Amino acid sequence: MRTKHRTTLVLILLITAMLWGCSPNETHTAAPSLTPTDISTSTATTAPTASPTPTPTPLPLNGQQTQYFIEANIDYYNRFITASSRSIYTNKTNSPINEMVFIIYPTIFQNAIYIKSVEYGDGSDITNYRWESHRMVIPLEEPLAPGDQIEFVHDFELYMPNREGVFGQTGRQLNLAYWFPFIPPRTDDGWMAYEISIINSQIVGEHLVFESTDFDVTIRFADRRENFKIAAGTLPEEIDDVIHYQMPLSRTFTLSISDIYTLTEREANGIKIQSFAFPEEASAGEAAADLAAKAITLYSDLYGSPERNLVSIVEADFLHGMEFDGLVLLSRGFYMFYNGTPETNLTMITPHEVSHQWFFSLVGNNQAMEPWLDESLATYSEALFYEEYHPELVDWWWANRVDGHSPAGYVDNTIYLDGGYEAYRNSVYLNGAHFVQDLRETMGDEAFFSLLKDYVKTNRYTIVSSSDFWSLANDHTQADLTPIITEYFSHATTP
């Protein structure tokens, strides 16, 4: 069922580690009103009809999403941050919770974080927490019943590691991803918290899973505010050097800060695009802004609105790409080797990362156990970008992005598969692209694109599973999908 493509390979100048989007391939260190009718005679009158009670618009997640209120003071040149994070959590499961879990990602890096204090919302100290890997586990004095709420406050300091990555600071850039204590999703079966997969000193995929939450973040700089450009996933308010962000229903809140960024701005479908690049790659930064505008225009049509006001595209001081809500980091190699043509990694990977505003940000998934639900769709979104804007290069894309790397393996592999990063990439990303192409051909374009748009609309702000995808796919086609599932998936069942 695999579509045949021209296999002539065109040499890609970048090393393999720079090619694959969103994989941190790093070396680890009112009631109605009734008006009565006046009756002046004995003539019968018709009783008034009550105005119907307006149906309230349902709140996403029933308004029970976790809320984070964060204040941070950034001493950029001394690589030091003091911060406080207040978390308000509602038990959205059907079972009581006996222990709360916080992911403290900076603990992965030696001496990167100092937890000054942990308190309940009423100010009482919490000292009985324990550590399980990079997770802080807090036993509760009383179980948190379904629907009940609890509040925590973490005061902490960050000593930014000198490293290239999504959390770290180089001489040119400060990246703050996963930088504050956050609560993973919880089901009746437990917390969706997983260990990092590291094989041959490479991180395989993403192990963190996020629910949609509300962020209220205030940052200040220790000095020289005028020096810095800040890339974020939403537009701020700034008064007297106090910078305030509000970002509802987002899975991450990430900042990238530099005193040398050049900034290019575009707009697409009412969404502002800000492209941040280093001075020596300023022209490639302009190209990245144009590519993002095209991708947003196309994917808004195919998948629906991304429901945000800003997308920031940032040249990263490392050699891979990574997606966040409203912000993507792209390898500096993509910029360094950009030659002004669409036969480049910048043209391939920018649309990939932008598509994660739909397949990750709007529709979440378990990135450790079912990464295909965002990565296979994001990789195929690259093909759709070339199909729309460079149809003469679709075969080139398949040859260089996919088939030249011998795609193989089950699409529904986890990040813990044998074989490490290359086997993960070849199965989830590359064979995943072939799977989506075959699914499209089996369903037909009308049903296939209707499925993708419905998939995003139906599942926004949630965390989906494979069964959710297949159930909706069967609603959109009469075709027998069993042969595709049998070929590409280890769990060859349909709903």
* Greater model confidence, 233 or 29: 233
Q: How far apart are CA 81 and CA 17, in angstroms?
A: 31
Q: At which residue do the structure tokens 């079966």 appear?
A: 189
pLDDT at residue 252 tops 90? yes
Q: pLDDT band for position 39 (50/70/90)?
A: very low
- Distance, in Å, from the CA atom of 372 to the CA atom of 368, rounded to the nearest integer, reads 10
Any domain includes 385: yes
pLDDT at 4 over 50: no
Residue 20 has what pLDDT?
A: 54
Q: Residue 248: is it exposed, middle or buried by C-beta count within 10 angstroms (0-12/13-18/19+)? A: middle
- The β-bridge partners of 258 are 229
What phi and psi, each to the nearest 5 degrees, are found at residue 99?
A: -140, 140
Q: Residue 231's closest CA among 351, 360, 346, 324?
A: 324
Q: How many domains does the chain have?
A: 1
Q: Are 315 and 285 in contact (CB under 8 A)?
A: yes
- At 493, the pLDDT band (50, 70, 90 cuts) reads low
pLDDT at residue number 150: 98
Residue 318, CB-side half-sphere exposure with 13 Å CA sphere: 26
Residue 388 belongs to a domain:
yes
Of the candidates 368, 353, 346, 352, which has an alpha carbon nearest to the alpha carbon of residue 416?
A: 368
* pLDDT tens digits along 130-142: 999 999 999 999 9
Residue 448, domain member (yes or no)? yes
User: Is 384's pLDDT higher than 70?
Assistant: yes
Answer yes or no: is pLDDT of 113 > 50: yes
Nearest to 358 by CA among 316, 405, 321, 305: 305
Looking up residue 384, the CATH number of its domain turns out to be: 1.10.390.10
Q: pLDDT value at position 23?
A: 58
pLDDT for 6 equals: 37
How confident is residue 281, by pLDDT bands cut at 50, 70 and 90? very high
pLDDT digits (tens, 9 = 90+) for 294-351: 999 999 999 999 999 999 999 999 988 999 999 999 999 999 999 999 999 999 999 9
Instruction: State which residues form the domain around 477.
Output: 364-488
DSSP for 40-61 reads -SSS--PPPPPPPPPPPPPPGG
Q: pLDDT tens digits, residue range 455-482?
A: 999 999 999 999 999 999 999 999 999 9
Q: Between 155 and 418, where is the model more confident?
A: 155
380 within a domain of the structure (yes/no): yes
Average pLDDT, the chain: 90
pLDDT score of 217 more than 70: yes
CA distance 136 to 17: 32
Angle (deg, nearest 10), helices 466-475 and 372-389: 50
Q: What pLDDT does 33 receive? A: 31
Is 177 inside any structural domain? no
Express as a percent the part of the chain with pLDDT over 90.
85
Q: Model pTM?
A: 0.90
* Structural domain contains residue 36: no
- Domain membership flag for residue 461: yes
pLDDT at 28: 43
- Amino acid identity of residue 71, one-letter, is E
What per-residue confidence (pLDDT) applies to 37? 31
- Find out whether 179 and 256 touch, Cβ atoms under 8 Å: no
**Per-residue confidence at 12, pLDDT binned at 50, 70, 90?**
very low
In a domain, 462, yes or no: yes
Report residue 36 CA to chain centroid gap.
Answer: 55
